[in-house]
């Protein structure tokens, strides 16, 4: 479950007396023992989340959750499995998700005036479009041009699937990692690729990709990302969850502006990794 049954006590079957004792312990266990299980992507999503260590967002979440007296556990899985796990009640929350319409039926987000509240987000992420160096395919902020092969993006990004279908461009989302996405683009599997700006900059600074791609000047878009909780869990613990979101917002404001400015739009295509 998203918050472990018995608020963190896991009773196991045994004799009748042992079972009664365990049941009594579970009933008397304090709320402070609750464990919130948060799913994150099994691919690094810098600087927000990492599968094998805690990124900026994970540290924010830990501070905010533990301030409520809850324990915290991160689970790293492919993004699609994280989403499915929250929908099915396997996990209580997911970190690094945008408040898009398809998630609102089963996830709760911090809200203000009926909209997702960016002041209580984990941060802002920007999606950029890149192409092989010298390529002709383009994105101008309104539409794509020169696209004779699919646009590539990471699997599990349902919002991108809807957007690209609306724009009428063929798309492929079989890549599970940013590195795989870049290799697919180099092998001619697509005309353009879409990925998060932080990931693209780290990826394309690697020697194997240096000077081989151009990031287009106009981003595809940007959005706040959140710690979202399973809706049923929010309904049972709304006071604590609102306090967690408030603490995340306060910690972000106390930390000051982002350590890294977002790439400016309106610049000529830049061969990332070249000085």
Establish whether the linkage from the previous residue to 47 is cis, with ω within 30° of 0.
Answer: yes
Q: Is the pTM of this model over 0.85?
A: no
- Residue 67 CA: distances (Å) to CA of 6, 10, 89, 248, 269: 20, 23, 24, 11, 45
Which ranges in 140-220 belong to alpha helices (H)? 158-167, 178-186, 197-204
Q: How confident is the model at residue 46 (pLDDT cuts 50, 70, 90)?
A: confident
Residues forming beta bridges with residue 37, ordered by sequence position: 73
Token match 């890549």: residue?
175
Query: If we measure between CA atoms, which residue out of 7, 5, 104, 86 comes closest to residue 39?
Result: 86
Contact partners, residue 187, CB within 8 Å, separation at least 6: none
Average pLDDT (234-249) is 97
Per-residue model confidence (pLDDT) at position 1: 46
Domains and CATH numbers, the chain: 5-122+224-255 (3.40.190.10), 126-222+265-271 (3.40.190.10)
Six token digits for residue 185 = 């683009």
d(CA 99, CA 117): 9
**CA-to-CA distance for 149 and 185, rounded, in angstroms?**
10
**Model confidence pLDDT, tens digit, residues 192-229:** 999 999 889 988 889 999 999 999 999 999 889 999 99
* Burial of 187 (C-beta count, 10 Å sphere; 0-12/13-18/19+): exposed
User: How far does CA 31 lie from the centroid of its chain?
Assistant: 28
Rounded-to-integer distance, Cα 164 and Cα 153, Å: 10
What is the Cα–Cα distance from 149 to 154, expressed in whole angstroms? 16
- Is residue 85 over pLDDT 80? yes
CB atoms within 10 A of CB 71: 17
Q: What is the pLDDT of residue 2?
A: 54
CA atoms within 13 A on the CB side of 205: 7
Q: What H or E segment, with its residue span, contains residue 138?
A: strand 138-139
Determine the average pLDDT of the residues in 64-87: 96
* Bridge-based pairing state of the strands 213-215 and 270-271: antiparallel
């Amino acid at each position: 479950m998203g918050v472990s049954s018995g608020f963190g006590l896991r009773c196991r079957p045994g004799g009748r007396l042992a079972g009664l004792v365990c049941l009594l312990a579970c009933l008397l266990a304090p709320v402070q023992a609750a464990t919130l299980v948060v799913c994150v992507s099994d691919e690094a999503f810098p600087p927000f989340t990492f599968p094998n260590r805690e990124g900026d967002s994970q540290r924010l979440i830990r501070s905010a959750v533990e301030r409520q007296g809850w324990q915290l556990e991160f689970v790293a899985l492919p993004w699609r499995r994280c989403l499915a796990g929250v929908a099915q009640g396997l996990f209580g929350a997911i970190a690094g998700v945008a408040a898009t319409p398809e998630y609102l039926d089963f996830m709760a987000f911090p809200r203000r005036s009926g909209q997702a509240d960016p002041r209580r987000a984990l941060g802002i992420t920007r999606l950029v479009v890149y192409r092989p160096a010298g390529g002709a395919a383009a994105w101008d902020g309104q539409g794509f041009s020169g696209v004779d092969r699919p646009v590539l993006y990471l699997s599990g990004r349902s919002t991108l699937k809807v957007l690209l279908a609306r724009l009428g461009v063929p798309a492929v989302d079989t890549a599970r990692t940013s590195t795989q996405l870049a290799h697919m683009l180099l092998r001619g599997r697509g005309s353009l690729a879409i990925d998060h700006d932080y990931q693209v900059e780290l990826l394309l600074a690697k020697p194997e990709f240096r000077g081989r791609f151009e990031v287009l000047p106009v981003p595809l878009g940007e959005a706040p990302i959140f710690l979202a909780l399973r809706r049923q869990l929010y309904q049972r613990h709304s006071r604590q969850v609102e306090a967690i979101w408030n603490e995340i917002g306060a910690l972000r404001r106390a930390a000051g502006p982002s350590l890294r400015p977002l790439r400016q739009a309106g610049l000529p295509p830049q061969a990332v990794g070249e000085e």
